[in-house]
Amino acid sequence: MRREALDVVVIGAGQAGLAVARELRRTSLSFTVLDAQEGPGGAWRQAWDSLRLFSPARWSSLPGFLMPGGETGAPSRDEVIAYLTEYERRYALPVERPVRVHAVWADGEALRLETSAGPYTARFVVSATGSWDAPFIPEVPGRELFQGRQLHSAHYHTPVEFAGQRVVIVGGGNSGAQLVAEVSRVATVTWATLTPPRFLPDDVDGRVLFDAATQRYRAQQAGVPFEAPSLGDIVVVPSVREARERGVLHAQSMFVAITERGVVWQGGQEEAFDAVIWCTGFRPALRHLAPLGVLEEDGRVQVKGSRAVKESRLWLVGYGNWTGFASATLIGVGRSARATVQEIVGEQTHLDPLETH
C-alpha cells in the first residue's frame, strides 16, 4: 500500500495522544493518529464499569476544552469516554482506527511503521500508547497450577461474575481497594498486599495530590528542596469509604505460593479460592519500539524531556513522570504535549520535505 509520507505519526489516541494531536493541529505539520481501539476513549474503553476519576471534571480536562461537570462529583468511565470522543470531534483530529502498530523501524531519513493497516512513513513518531496493554502480574510459585480463574484488573469489568465465589484480590493500591470494595458486596473476598495499605485522609482527592506534585515539580525546577507530606496511597472514594464502614478493608500479608485450589499463606496454611484478581499495576506498552533498539532492561526508553535519547526522531508522552511531569494524567499531559510539539516544529524547520515512499 502506497501512502504519502507524513511529518508526524502519533501512536495511540488516548488522552496523551489526543493532547499531542491537538497541539499538532495548530501547526502546519502533516500528521495522523493511529489507534488500536475500535472507538474513541483510549484505555478508558477497557476499564471496569464502575471506575471513576479521583477529581471533579474541572480538574480533569485536556488543554482547550473543559470536561463537562464542573467542580463537584467525579466523572464516571462513560463520562470520560464521552469527553474524549467530543475532544476528537471538536478539534477534527485525524484518528485512524482500528490500526495497531506492530513495529517502528529506522528507514534512512524516516521512520517506518508496520501496522495492521499496512506501512506508514514519517519524519517523526510520538508514542502515546500508555500502559493498559501491558498489565503486570508478579511471578508467584505455582501460579500456573491454579485451576480457578485468574485475571488482571485490566480485564475486570463487573463484580456480578464473581457472585457467591471465594476471591483473593492482590494489590495494595487504588485498584485493589476499589475492587475489594465492590466485589465484597457479592462474594467472600480476601485482600492480599505486600505491605499494609495506606489510606489518604478522606478530604484528599486528585486536586490535592496534583497541587502537591506541582509544588514538588516547581521546587525541583528551581533547585530548592521540597518534602511533600506522606499522606498515603489510596484515595478514599465513596465506594472505598462505604467498604470501610462495612469493615471489609482488612488486608493480609501476601501469600507465598499458589496451588491448584488456592493459595499458601506465610504461615504455611493453604486456603481455597475460586478466583484471583491481580491489581498489580502495569508496565509501559512499548514493544512496538523494540526494532529501534531504544528499550532499556526495565522496559522503558531513556528520554530527555519526552524525547528519546537513542533515537532523536522519537518522542514518548503520557507514560508517567519519566516522560514529563504528571503526563499520565488528564490535567497534566498538556504540558508534555505542548513541549513535544514545539521540539518537533523546531526540528522540522531544519529538514527538507520527505519524498513519498
Q: 294 lies in which domain range?
A: 6-133+282-348
Lowest mean pLDDT among 16-30, 38-52, 194-208: 194-208
Same-domain check for residues 122 and 161: no
The predicted pLDDT at position 53 comes to 87
Q: Cell numbers of 223, please?
A: 533547585
CA-to-CA distance for 77 and 42, rounded, in angstroms? 11
Which pLDDT band holds residue 331 (cuts at 50, 70, 90)? confident
Backbone angles phi, psi at 275, to 5 degrees: -150, 150
Give 345: exposed, middle or buried? Use CB within 10 Å, 0-12, 13-18, 19+: middle
Quick one: which H or E segment has residue 15?
A: helix 15-25
Split into its structural domains, the chain has a count of 2
Which pLDDT band holds residue 231 (cuts at 50, 70, 90)? very low
CA-to-CA distance for 184 and 178, rounded, in angstroms? 10
At 293-328, the pLDDT tens digits run 999 999 999 999 999 999 999 999 999 989 988 889
CA-to-CA distance for 215 and 200, rounded, in angstroms? 18
Same-domain check for residues 78 and 170: no
CA-to-CA distance for 72 and 49, rounded, in angstroms? 21
Quick one: which H or E segment has residue 78?
A: helix 77-90
**143 or 236, higher pLDDT:** 143
Same-domain check for residues 274 and 292: no
The predicted pLDDT at position 200 comes to 84
CA-to-CA distance for 317 and 322, rounded, in angstroms? 9
Q: What is the DSSP letter of 354?
A: P
Nearest to 98 by CA among 133, 62, 49: 133
The predicted pLDDT at position 97 comes to 97
Instruction: Kindly report whether the global pTM for this prediction surpasses the value 0.75.
Output: yes
- pLDDT over 90 at 220, yes or no: no
Q: What is the DSSP letter of 298?
A: T
Which pLDDT band holds residue 211 (cuts at 50, 70, 90)? low
- pLDDT over 90 at 57, yes or no: no
Beta-ladder partners of 12:
none
CA-to-CA distance for 27 and 8, rounded, in angstroms? 11
The predicted pLDDT at position 158 comes to 96
- pLDDT over 90 at 71, yes or no: no
Helix (H, G, I), strand (E, B) or coil at 174: helix
The DSSP result for 203-256, as a single string, is: T--HHHHHHHHHHHHHHHHHT---------SB---HHHHHHHHHT---EEEPPS
CA atoms within 13 A on the CB side of 1: 12
The predicted pLDDT at position 161 comes to 95
Neighbours of 99 (CB within 10 A): 20
At 238-259, the pLDDT tens digits run 999 999 999 999 999 999 999 9
At 157-166, the pLDDT tens digits run 999 999 999 9
- Given 247, 278, 309, the domain boundary residue is 278
- CA 297 to each of CA 130, 293, 300, 301, 302: distance values in angstroms, whole numbers, following the listed order: 18, 11, 7, 9, 11
Tell me the torsion sign for CA atoms 220, 235, 256, 48. Answer: negative
Q: Say which CATH number the domain at 265 has.
A: 3.50.50.60
Same-domain check for residues 111 and 192: no
The whole-number average pLDDT for the span 47-76 is 87
For the chain, the average pLDDT equals 90
Which pLDDT band holds residue 1 (cuts at 50, 70, 90)? low
Which pLDDT band holds residue 152 (cuts at 50, 70, 90)? very high
The whole-number average pLDDT for the span 263-270 is 96
Same-domain check for residues 271 and 249: yes
CA-to-CA distance for 166 and 262, rounded, in angstroms? 10
Which pLDDT band holds residue 357 (cuts at 50, 70, 90)? very low
Q: Cell numbers of 162, please?
A: 464473581
Same-domain check for residues 123 and 40: yes
Give percent of the chain with pLDDT exceeding 70. 89
The whole-number average pLDDT for the span 85-96 is 98
Assess whether the previous peptide bond of 98 is cis (omega < 30° from 0): yes
Same-domain check for residues 266 and 172: yes
Same-domain check for residues 97 and 113: yes
At 93-105, the pLDDT tens digits run 999 999 999 999 9
The whole-number average pLDDT for the span 230-240 is 78
Same-domain check for residues 158 and 253: yes
